Structure 1
Amino acid sequence: MFTVLAAAGGCDEAEPSADAIPVPSGREVRLIEVVTNVPGPDGATARFRFLAPGLTEADIPASADDMQALCDTYALARIDGMVPEPQQIIISLAGEDVPFGEAAPDVVQFFEAFEVTDGTCILAAF
């Protein structure tokens, strides 16, 4: 299930990425931050927040593939050694850098949740 929402909570760690992270759509995507100090419904959760300038609601189909790729190729490799070990990864894309937990109804943001099962990102109900 694909979700377009505003998140709520607090921040934690990770330096913003100066380098674009490759995604299937070819869109320019950069890491904003990783938030690990706000549990999700399944317990420990790692939220990987990405900036995708110019994101629009018309980008939903391509963004779903991009978020799966970001979980598989970027986030999954970075949760190893996190304590507690995340049971869920949430990937978000935002058209503008919005502080975590702040509402921004004028900014397009997409969120997708993934369960971590046997070292694989499995799309989860969100």
Structure 2
Amino acid sequence: MASVSAAAQTPDIRVPSGRTLSLHEVLTDTRPGELWVRFRFVSEGLSQAEVDDHDRMAEDMDWLCANLVLPYLDHHELKPDRVAISFSDRPVPFGKAAPDAVQVFEAYRIEDGACIWEDY
């Protein structure tokens, strides 16, 4: 697992729902035959009720993919097979269990310069 960028240098991001996120980290890893780039965000105060509002959460995730992820991938000349976007209510170390944290994850493939949601 490699960190691509220092997230601390990224300003807070306001998504369509009005939620403010901070970029916790961007990670790259290779699964068998696939490059994944993971964008991990913190949204302090994120509640389970917000996560359960699937339409609103999807709008925020899609917006991030189109407006932050695609330019980032272009800038860093990355061509991943999959992109994962996650929100959590606090920083959680990657791969560590955190049952008390509120978290949500979505995956996308990048095709013809667009984010295509992947059900995983």
TM range (shorter): 0.7 to 0.9
**1:25 counterpart = 2:21:** no
In structure 1, the residue matched to 2:102 is 108
How many matched pairs?
Answer: 114
Matches within 5 A, 1:43-62: 43-60=34-51, 61=53, 62=56
* Distance of aligned partners of 1:28 and 1:13 in 2 relative to their CA distance in 1, 3 Å threshold: same
TM-score normalised by length of structure 1 = 0.83
Q: For the residues of structure 2 that align with 1:67 and 1:47, how far apart are their CA atoms? A: 13
Q: For the residues of structure 2 that align with 1:115 and 1:40, how far apart are their CA atoms? A: 14
Determine which of 23, 26, 37 is the counterpart of 1:34. Answer: 26
CA RMSD of aligned residues (A): 1.6
1:40-59 deviations in Å (ceiling 9; x for gaps): 47711110000111111111
Identity of counterpart residues, as a percentage? 39
Answer whether contact 1:11 1:100 (CA < 8 A) is retained: no
* Distance of aligned partners of 1:41 and 1:125 in 2 relative to their CA distance in 1, 3 Å threshold: farther
Matches within 5 A, 1:1-126: 10-17=1-8, 18-36=10-28, 38-40=29-31, 43-60=34-51, 61=53, 62-80=56-74, 81-82=77-78, 85-126=79-120
Structure 2 unpaired stretches of 5+: none
Structure 1 segments (4+ residues) deviating >6 Å? none
Question: Quick one: higher RCO (CA 8 Å, sep 6+), 1 or 2?
Answer: 1
TM-score normalised by length of structure 2 = 0.86
Q: For the residues of structure 2 that align with 1:40 and 1:23, how far apart are their CA atoms? A: 30
